[in-house]
Copies of this chain bind each other. A is one copy, B any other.
Amino acid sequence: MAAAAVLGQRGACCAYGAAAGTAESGGTEIIAYHHISTVSASLVSRSTEDLASGRRARLRRTWLASPRCKDLPSSTNYVISGHDRLALDSCSSTTSPSPSFRITAAAAAAAADGAGAEDTAVATPPPLPESGGDSAGGGEHAQLVDESHTLTLDGIRNTLIRLEDSIIFHLIERAQYKWNLPTYDARMISVPPHNLSLLAFLLRETERLHSNVRRYTSPDEHPFFPDAIERPLLPPLLYPKVLCAGSGVVNVNPAIWKMYIEWLVPQLTEEGDDKNYGSAATCDVLCLQALSRRIHYGKFVAEAKCREAMEEYDRLIYNKDREGIIKKLTVEAVEDAVVRRVELKARTFGQDILESGVAAACDSEEPRKIDPKIVARLYQDGIMPLTKEVEVEYLLRRLDFPSTP
């Protein structure tokens, strides 16, 4: 929770951009893994230092032994994002976009429309309605307007705070069941026809189902399995036009997936196996969806911050100054307050309420259904760095589309 710890994580995050163009520039998958391991290795390191729990130590071994997660869902959007960043790095000293960057931007726009551009292993999804995919704008046929105010700039702060509750509720639900490792390992349980792990199967099919009720036309929802998304059965919904048109391309779900499976679940749950794999996976789906929504909400945060200091951000974005953008985005006092608040929320929501009907003391040190410190660390070292990654990736694209608000 100390500011220094936040800074340490911040440093690791910055290193990723620099390395991408050098030793690990050979392929986007490696780039993605490099990024993910940077964030998550920090989490593992902390867990072994801080939690004084011997059983957690093997996590580091697991981590190092598996260069990438077998079940890591491929993400068309994310792959393009990697290329895009390479292009950005390669042309960072020019005053106008290079030809290669223009091509990448076009591919990004195509991806935002739901068409797989480079990852041939991913089936081409069916066409989405006109407001689909990125959904920053609405199609001509849109008649229904989202009136929840959760996606307006005015609503950002409330939405972020409300999402903390959702995440903690879902984590508490998941913690009812043991770790149940076979849920996540396709070598132990493999579900046909794609031989996915149980969780990957359940999340993929849930995303397919929810795409029917237009979940992924909302600009704050990002699928883990873009190839499973189907055309909505509902008429399109018109969302407030807040984000720049190409924003759908930024999708860090592979990193969220890896962080969740390899760091969070083993910390959160009791070690062992109660065979309730289906129940665990059902809870996992809710946790992953809530985490993804919270982290990708960084796009709205970035847009709001950018509008407050337009000139300065324009200069940083134009110069592709990744570190400068991160520095400008960061307000340590706010981050520390968030970490304190989520720990208190976990302490409050995770308590056993007394049967007598007398109010329990929220700040007592009774054991909780989840360890509040893990929620604090999740925010500090997982959610906030990944959100910042989303913010930076979003901002770096912000000037490249004519329809930027």
Contact A361 B363 (CB under 8 A): no
Whether A209 pairs with B206 at a CB distance below 8 angstroms is yes
A148, A213, A343, A363: residue with the most chain B Cβ atoms closer than 10 Å:
A213
Residues of B within 8 A of A145 (CB): 275
* Cβ–Cβ contact B144 & A192, under 8 A: no
Closest approach, in angstroms, between the C-beta of A97 and any C-beta of chain B? Answer: 37
Smallest Cβ-Cβ distance to A339: which chain B residue: B357
In the assembled complex, the Cα of A337 lies from the Cα of B356 at a distance in Å of: 7
User: Which one of A32-40, A108-116, A276-284, A380-388 contacts B?
Assistant: A276-284
| Copies of chain A in the complex | 2
Residue-wise interface mask of A (298-321) relative to B, using a CB-CB cutoff of 8 A (1 in contact, 0 not): 000000000000000000000000
Decide if B359 touches A278 in the complex (CB within 8 Å).
Answer: no
A234 interface hit (Cβ, 8 Å):
yes
CB-CB nearest in chain B for A364: B359
Are A341 and B363 in touch, CB under 8 angstroms?
no
Tell me the nearest residue of chain B to A362, going by C-beta.
B359
The answer to the question of A345 belonging to the interface, with a C-beta cut-off of 8 Å to chain B, is yes
Give, as a whole number of angstroms, the nearest-CB distance from A190 to chain B.
10
Which of these, B192, B277, B349, B357, contacts A349 with CB under 8 Å? B349
Asked if A169 CB lies within 8 Å of chain B CBs, one says yes
- Residues of B close to A173: CB separation below 8 A: 166, 169
Interface residues of A (CB under 8 A from B): 144-148, 161-162, 165-166, 169, 172-173, 176-178, 189, 191-192, 198, 201-202, 205-206, 209-210, 212-215, 233-234, 237, 273-279, 281-282, 286, 337, 340-341, 343-345, 347-349, 351-363, 369
Supplied contacts A215-B279, A215-B282, A348-B349, 19 more A-B pairs, CB within 8 Å? A146-B276, A147-B275, A161-B352, A189-B234, A202-B209, A202-B213, A205-B209, A206-B209, A210-B278, A210-B282, A213-B277, A234-B277, A286-B286, A337-B357, A344-B357, A345-B353, A348-B353, A361-B362, A362-B362
